Chain A
Amino acid sequence: MCSINDIFFAIFDFVITNAMDNYTYLCNSNTQRVDDMSKSKVASKRVYSKTIRRVWQCKWLYLMLVPVIAYYVIFKYVPMYGITIAFKNYNIFKGITESPWCGLDIFEKIFRSKTLWNAIRNTLVLNFTTLLASFPLTIIVSLMLNEIRVVRFKKVTQSILYLPHFVSWVVVAGIATNLFSLQGGSINNILNGIGFESVPFLSDNGWWIFTYMICNVWKEIGWGTIIYLAALTSVDESLYEAAYLDGATKFQRLIYITLPLIRPFIVTMLILQISRLMTIGLDAPLLLGNDKVAAVSEVISTYVYRLGIENAKYSESTAIGLFQSVVNIIILLAADKFAKITTEEGII
C-alpha cells in the first residue's frame, strides 16, 4: 500500500524536525542559564559540548528507548497524521496523501446530520445519569466501609465489592440481559413475586437508561471507593477522639469532621468526572443496547464505530472523532483551570 509509505515519510520528517527543535531548544536553554550566570561565551561553548557529551553518555538509555519510541510513533503519532482525512475526500485507492482536500465540507456534513447531535445528547444523558447515581453512592459506601471496625469483615466485603470491576463488559451485558429480560428475567420474577408488574428494563427507552446506569454502578462502585478509603485513612484519629469526648454523636462526627476533611478529594474527583462527560466507553452501550432502544443507546463512540467500520465512511467517522477529541481537550483544560481555582491543585 503506497499510502502507508507516505505516512512514514511524513512522520519521519515530522519527528526529525521535532527532534532537532527539541535538541536545539534544550541546548539553548542550558546555554542561556549558564550565560546568565557567567555571562561568558566560552562557558556557553563548554556547556554546549557538555550537553553533547551527556547525550553521548546516555546513548544506551536512548537505544533502550527505541522500541518505545517506535511504538508511540507507529501506533499513536502516525494515526494522528491520519486525522487529515477528516479534511479530505478520502478515496481508498488514492490513499491518505493523494486524496483531494475538501476543507471543512466533511464537518459541515456531519454537523448537519441529526444522528450526531442525537449521539452527543445520548452520551451526555448516559454519563450524567451514571454520574448522578454513582458519585454520591461511592462516597456513601466509602464512608460506610470506613466505619467498619471488624478488620476481617471489612477485607472480605471489600474483596467482594471490587470483584465486578474485573469482569468484562461482555459478561456483564450477558448477565444483565438474562437478569433484566421482560419474560422470566430474575428481577421481573422477584418483582412479580412481591406483586409488581413486569418492567421492560431493556426495551423501553427510559428504563434502558436506568438499566445502563445500574450496570455501570454495579460494576464500578466498589472500585471507586478505593481512592476515598485512601483519603479517609489519612484523617487524624485524635480529631475523632476529641469529638467523642465532647459528646459528638457518630453522625455529627461524620458531618463535622470526616466530610470537611475529604472535601478536597471529593471536589477533585467531581471535576475529573465532569471533565469526562463527553467521553464514553464503547463496550457498555454497544453490548447492552438493542434495536428497540437505539434512539437512546447510540452514543458518540458507537456512532463512530458504525459509521467508520460498518459503513466504511472513514472521513466522516474520523471527523467526529476529531471533534470529540477537541471538545474533550477544551473541557479538560477548563476543568483544570477550575480545579486550580477551587482546590489550588490542577488535575492534569
Chain B
Amino acid sequence: MSRFIAGGKSRITVGAALLYLSIILLTFVCLYPFLNVLAYSLSGYNAVLSRRVTFFPIDFNLDAYKQILGRPQIWMAMRTTVLVTLMGTFSSLLLTVIAAYVLSRRNLPGKKAFTVLILFTMYFSGGMIPTFMVVKGIGLYDTLGALFLPQAISVFNFIVMRTFFQNLPSSLEESAEIDGASELQVLIKIILPVSLSILATIGLFYAVGYWNTYFDALLYIQDPDKYTLQLRLRSLLFGEELNNSNANLEGIGTQVMTQSLKMATVAVSTIPILIVYPWLQKYFVKGVMLGSLKG
C-alpha cells in the first residue's frame, strides 16, 4: 500500500479502503445471524417478550441454556446424533476407501464397468419412494441404520478419493507386491498411511453431513426416542412441542420464553460444529479443490 501512497495515487488507497470496508461488512453479514441467536438466547425474559433484542443480549442470563440442557430429550437426541455421526462416518469412510482403492488399481478387469455403475447413480436414482420402500423392506425403518446405510457412499467423495489414490506413485504398490504383500496389506500398510490428509478431509465431509442430516431422520424415524438433534430441533422450532408442554404449566410468559429457548437450542446444536470448525476448514478447502479436478 505504501508504494501507492509514495506514488501519489491516493485514489487507489481510497479504493483499497473501500475494498476492505466492504469485506468487513460482508463478514459482519455472515456473522450477524449467529450473533442474533446468541443475543436472543442470552437475553432476559422481558427483553425477549417485547422483542427489543437486535444486536446484544439485554439483561444477560443463562436461564434458557439451563432449561434446555435440563431436558432429557436434548441429551438423548445428542446421543443419537453422536452415535449416527460416528457409525456413519466410519462405515462411509470404510466403503469409500475400499471402492476408491480397488477401482484406482490399474490392471483390474471390469474396473470400467464398476466405475460406470457407480457414477450412473449420481445422475439417475430410484427416487424417494422406491428407496423408502427398500429401507422399509429390509427392516431398517425406525432404526439408526436407516440414517447412514442408505447413503453410505457419496459419489463425489468417491471420485475425490479415487483421484487421490490414482495420483500416488505406482512404485509404492509394486514394491510391496514384489515383497509378497496381499492387496489388503498394501492398502492398510502402504496406501492409508500416506493418505491421512485425504482421509481426514473425506471423513470430515461425511461427519458434518451426518451431524446435519435431518430429512432422512424425518423420513425413516418414527420413535421420538430415536430423534436426532436436527429433528428434535425442528420439532422444537416449528412444531407444537415446546409451546404446548410449557404453556399449560406457566401460562402466557412461557410463550415468549420459547423464543430464547429456541435460540438456545439452535446454539447448542451448532456449537459442536463451531468448535471443530477452525481445524476442519483447511481440509475442506483442499477436498473441494481435489474434487474439482475431474477423475
Residues of chain A touching chain B, judged by Cβ–Cβ distance below 8 Å, are 1, 3-4, 7, 22-23, 26, 51, 54-55, 58, 60-62, 64-65, 67-69, 71-72, 74-83, 85, 96, 141, 144-145, 147-149, 153, 157, 159-164, 166-171, 173-179, 183-186, 189-190, 218, 222-223, 226-227, 230, 249-250, 282-283, 286-287, 301, 304-305, 308-309, 314, 317-318, 321-322, 324-325, 328-329, 332, 348
- B251 contacts partner chain A, Cβ-Cβ < 8 Å: no
CB of A72 within 8 A of CB of B117, answer yes
CB of B292 within 8 A of CB of A175, answer no
Interface residues of B in 228-244 (CB under 8 A from A): 230, 233-234, 237-238
CB of A65 within 8 A of CB of B98, answer yes
- Residue count of chain B within 8 Å CB distance of chain A: 91
- B152 contacts partner chain A, Cβ-Cβ < 8 Å: yes
Residues of B contacting A58 with CB < 8 Å? 105, 107-109
Residues of A contacting B102 with CB < 8 Å? 61-62, 64-65, 68
- Beyond A60-B182, A190-B54, is A226–B289 a contact (Cβ under 8 Å)? yes
Q: B63 CB to closest chain A CB, in angstroms?
A: 18
CB of B124 within 8 A of CB of A325, answer yes
CB of A283 within 8 A of CB of B105, answer no
In Å, the complex CA distance between A301 and B128 comes to 9
CB closest residue in chain A, given B292: A227
- B42 contacts partner chain A, Cβ-Cβ < 8 Å: no
Interface of A is mostly: helix
Q: B23 CB to closest chain A CB, in angstroms?
A: 6
- B5 contacts partner chain A, Cβ-Cβ < 8 Å: no
Q: A203 CB to closest chain B CB, in angstroms?
A: 15
In Å, the complex CA distance between A68 and B54 comes to 51
CB closest residue in chain B, given A92: B133
CB of A177 within 8 A of CB of B183, answer no
Residues of A contacting B182 with CB < 8 Å? 60
CB closest residue in chain A, given B51: A184
CB of A314 within 8 A of CB of B262, answer no
CB of A71 within 8 A of CB of B95, answer yes
CB of A54 within 8 A of CB of B107, answer yes
Contact among B99, B131, B215, B233 for A79, CB-based, below 8 A: B131
Contact among A179, A226, A227, A314 for B33, CB-based, below 8 A: A179
CB of A305 within 8 A of CB of B133, answer no
- B278 contacts partner chain A, Cβ-Cβ < 8 Å: yes
Residues of B contacting A169 with CB < 8 Å? 212, 214
CB closest residue in chain A, given B124: A325
CB of A72 within 8 A of CB of B121, answer yes
